[in-house]
Structure 1
Amino acid sequence: MNSDDLPLSRALADRAAELRTRPHVLDEARADAATRVLLVADAQVLTGSDGALSLLTVADAVASRAHATSPPDDEAWLLLGRHEATTYLALRVPAGHPVPRRGEAADVLVHRAAGATAPEDDADGWTPLRQIGGDLSALDAGLATTAVALDAWHTRHPRCPRCGAATEVVQAGWVRRCVADGSEHYPRTDAAVIMAVVDESDRLLLGRAAAWAERRFSTLAGFVEPGESLEHAVRREVLEEASIVVGDVEYRGSQPWPFPASLMVGFVAHATSTDVQADGDELVDARWFTRDELAAAVRAGQVIPPGRSSIARALVDDWFGGPLPQSSGPSATWR
């Protein structure tokens, strides 16, 4: 398993960090006719009927918010990076805000609310990143993942953690500065471990979280606690959630998961015990699967595996030896 091939780990754009502190960098980017803009709102991005990102001109992006109470200011714009002489920006759109829908004429903008069902035409519409991450190009995946991550951070951190005063957005969307004490605050990433737990017979342990639908199973995962190594977090989480003791732990790869701010660090964990007992809190079910058992359960729709955008699916496919079979049962996918 190659981390660079994981859906949300792929990226082609240069983040152009050296440009963020340059005065008027956003003005310069918006004045460039070649600049393209991605609309982002609440972990969703604007896509076209072909499933690719809908990257707008600056004029179209601004026009998409023309009906709002005020046009977007600098705090709504994010510098995502550059690729092949094109600068890419994101424009943050409040959740529930109408977004552009393209009709037959590319310059006609009709608005519909975020979250509405996509029409059966060539219209643009909101699509959750976790739903389409595995289908995007490497360039689009990197842009969308960065945009969603930054948007989530800005939404959740409007105030200074030191004094509680308001903060202002600076450095092209990559820093929030306290208006009272001048302290600067940067986007944070929460480390989480995710593991394919295998026993001596090479069976795979999958679990179902309490909040999930009945047939939905995935690899075990959990956040790294303060003062804890990644390997210790793997062993602790598996023991806490499934009462399984883990010995050796092997790193397999990592992937950002901006829902809202996780970095998923993937491992294979070798179990030294096999008596599974779900804790009833984090997990309500946990089972061992052979390859044949998992393939049969997926085909029958008895198990819904992780979505293709996730590192969980990559870990399962890696253990399985290739892509899982398609399901013939109802509701065969979740993202």
Structure 2
Amino acid sequence: MTLILASRPNVYSSSPLDRIATRREDPGWIAEKLADPESLFVPVWRAKNLVRGNGEGNPEAVYVSGEMAHTLRIQEDGPWAFLGILEDRAVFALDISAAEDPVPLLPETLGSFVDLRSVGWGVPRPEASVLAHARGLMHWRQRHKFCSVCGNPCEVKSSGHMLRCTVCETQHFPRTDPAVIMLVHRGDRALLGHSSRFPRATMYSTLAGFVEPGETLEEAVRREVLEESGIAVGDVHYHSSQPWPFPGNIMLGFYAEALSEQITIDPEELKDARWFSRDEMRQPDRHGFALPRADSIARRLIEDWLAHG
């Protein structure tokens, strides 16, 4: 099997931030940067990010300066976390979900709060990575306020990157769940499946699934493909990874060589699965199906495979 390398970075990768984790434990420095009018804040409202120009096809992430944040009083309450340094300016994520309506908080010209998955980034943009970082971290902060060991409240530590139980002192860290996503291929054809969870009724995509405890990534690929489609897999080769903060995953992309062709789907996971030729996948509209979204690693796996055949 020819090794297929990633042709470019994935969307939500290539972060421009220096995470400078050592500063998270310096409360004096953090307090200084929180009060600095030059610091930048990445607001998150109910899992949505502030974006400008999305409707015009030229999306741009919006950061709020510390001066504006103070003027608009959006820095008063809600979870926050230090993300890193961008061109000598501290960057913080700030959750403003307590506001019933975020529109009055920000000038209309700044943009609007949207689901990142609705943004047509198309190609990797470093700023998309910052928004994804903020979204994922704030999602964790909003949903892990209590200790999973004893049930008591947690207090915020490490500038928003750790929660410590106020009673048993157990430390809790941000959750990232690994998931494998793979393009299964055999000869000049690739296996794509359709799930009822997909946003479009005609969309077919690569198979995917979560890694289980005590399992290697390659074992997870083979198990998931066999469970979902009945296809046995031999060689497995890594392609690339993609942060996917919807809500907190890291997608690990692979190519998997099929050893069989007879499909037997798991109806709990897929509504349909088919083998598609390269010609069909290059002209999906003509053949009555749609490929996954352009910002997904699934689409990258497909495009890089098509480029090598």
1:84 aligns with 2:87: yes
Partner of 2:273: 286
1:181 aligns with 2:168: yes
Distance 1:99 1:72 in 2: 14
Partner of 1:320: 306
1:7 aligned to 11, 15, 19, which one? 11
Summarize deviations over 1:162-191 as a string: whole Å, max 9, x none. 111011222111011111122221112111
- What value does the CA root-mean-square deviation take over the aligned residues? 2.3
Distance 1:12 1:3 in 2: 20
Partner of 2:21: 17
Q: Structure 1 residue 237: deviation in Å?
A: 0.4
Partner of 2:190: 204
1:148 aligns with 2:163: no
1:303 aligns with 2:289: yes
Q: Name the SS for the 1:20 alignment partner.
A: helix
Matches within 5 A, 1:114-133: 122=109, 124-132=111-119
| Sequence identity percentage | 38
Q: Structure 1 residue 142: deviation in Å?
A: 2.3
Distance 1:308 1:169 in 2: 37
2:42 aligned to 18, 38, 46, which one? 38
2:269 maps to a residue whose letter is E
Q: Structure 1 residue 79: deviation in Å?
A: 0.7
Partner of 1:109: 107
Partner of 1:113: none
1:58 aligned to 54, 66, 69, which one? 66
- Any conservation in 2 of the 1:4–1:10 contact (CA below 8 Å)? no
Partner of 1:269: 256
Residue segments in structure 2 that go unaligned for 5+ positions in a row: none
Q: Name the SS for the 2:268 alignment partner.
A: coil
Summarize deviations over 1:241-278 as a string: whole Å, max 9, x none. 01101011001111111111111111000001011122
2:236 aligned to 249, 260, 270, which one? 249
Cα distance change, pair 88–135 in 1 and its aligned pair in 2 (3 A) = farther
1:235 aligns with 2:238: no
TM-score (norm 2): 0.89
Distance 1:65 1:136 in 2: 34
Cα distance change, pair 228–263 in 1 and its aligned pair in 2 (3 A) = same
Distance 1:96 1:303 in 2: 41
Distance 2:10 2:290 in 1: 20
- Any conservation in 1 of the 2:51–2:114 contact (CA below 8 Å)? yes
Cα distance change, pair 89–288 in 1 and its aligned pair in 2 (3 A) = same
Partner of 1:326: none
Partner of 1:28: 32
1:223 aligns with 2:226: no
Cα distance change, pair 307–42 in 1 and its aligned pair in 2 (3 A) = farther
Distance 2:191 2:64 in 1: 44
**Which has the higher mean CA deviation after the structures are superposed, 208-217 or 135-144?**
135-144
Q: Structure 1 residue 223: deviation in Å?
A: 0.3
2:107 maps to a residue whose letter is L
Q: Structure 1 residue 211: deviation in Å?
A: 2.1
Cα distance change, pair 178–301 in 1 and its aligned pair in 2 (3 A) = farther
Partner of 1:162: 149
Q: How many residues align?
A: 299
Cα distance change, pair 88–274 in 1 and its aligned pair in 2 (3 A) = same
Cα distance change, pair 240–33 in 1 and its aligned pair in 2 (3 A) = same
Distance 1:42 1:217 in 2: 29
- Any conservation in 2 of the 1:64–1:109 contact (CA below 8 Å)? no
Q: Name the SS for the 1:278 alignment partner.
A: coil
Summarize deviations over 1:79-129 as a string: whole Å, max 9, x none. 110022111111112177322479xxxxx736xxxxxxxxxxx45101212
Q: Structure 1 residue 299: deviation in Å?
A: 2.8
Summarize deviations over 1:20-53 as a string: whole Å, max 9, x none. 0101343211222221111113432101125111
TM-score (norm 1): 0.82
